[in-house]
Structure 1
Amino acid sequence: MIDGVIVKKIVKHHDDRGFFAELVRDDEHILDRFGQASWSMSYPGVIKAFHYHEKQDDLWFFPSGHAQVVLYDLRKGSSTRGETSVFYMGEDNPIVLLIPKGIAHGYRVLGQTPATIIYFTTESYNRDNPDEKRIPWDDPEIGFHWETENR
């Protein structure tokens, strides 16, 4: 796994009324600081990739739908520079994923239903000077194959 990436398995507490689960707590020290919480939805088959940040860390959670999340380490001097990690996240695998600054990241919506992502960042979005560097989804350096391989 890419150095600095944190995966937290979400524990659901079920009873006859439904369930409750904690996503992130301040005493877990997953985020260095809180900047912003955001909510987004993408339709089936959509690929949102790639981008990275120079200042902020992201913490991703998919409460509905399913996504293939791809990370690629761009950090100079990192022991995992050039490595790719893939995570399958969503309602069937409820995890929270910390994506450190300098890690290119993106996702593809899997299945026939939209995917919803809730994400937390360590910095608030600055419209005048966004900390968001774009890389094409099919970047040859990353070389990720986004199509499902039937086995």
Structure 2
Amino acid sequence: MKNVKKITGVFILFFMVIGGLIFAQDRAIHPNQLPKTAKNFLSAHFKGIPVTSAIEDREIYGVDEYKVYLSNGMKIEFDSNGNWKEVDGKHQKLPYGFIPVSIKNYSTRNFPNTYITKIEKKRWSYKADLSNGLELEFDRNGNFKRIDD
């Protein structure tokens, strides 16, 4: 009886995974199809840098996120509402206009001659990668927590 339950559980898990793969799809979209918030973010902080591709990540319940690739190699991820989640400069300096002031100030004051190359905004924290390879972690208010190298 235990083996039947295990086999049934494995089959259920297998079909859930396969179903998720079938319904979860990425599709290329025109940059004009991005949410207004994302378009405003791009025009404010990456003006003059063309979008080479925009990807809509769809899940069963709708759009999960958008990924935007710029001609200079940078990648920006937005949530379903168009709010930025991650900006990856691919080792290039990010513009500081959207980065919380406390994070910008901490990194420039404590690590002169470096710059932020990637920033992730999570539910309760931020993570910023510096050009020297260090990863700084901050709380959701932008207060420094620790270095993760």
* TM-score category (smaller protein): under 0.3
Which is richer in strand?
1
Structure with more relative contact order (C-alpha pairs < 8 Å, separation 6 or more): 1
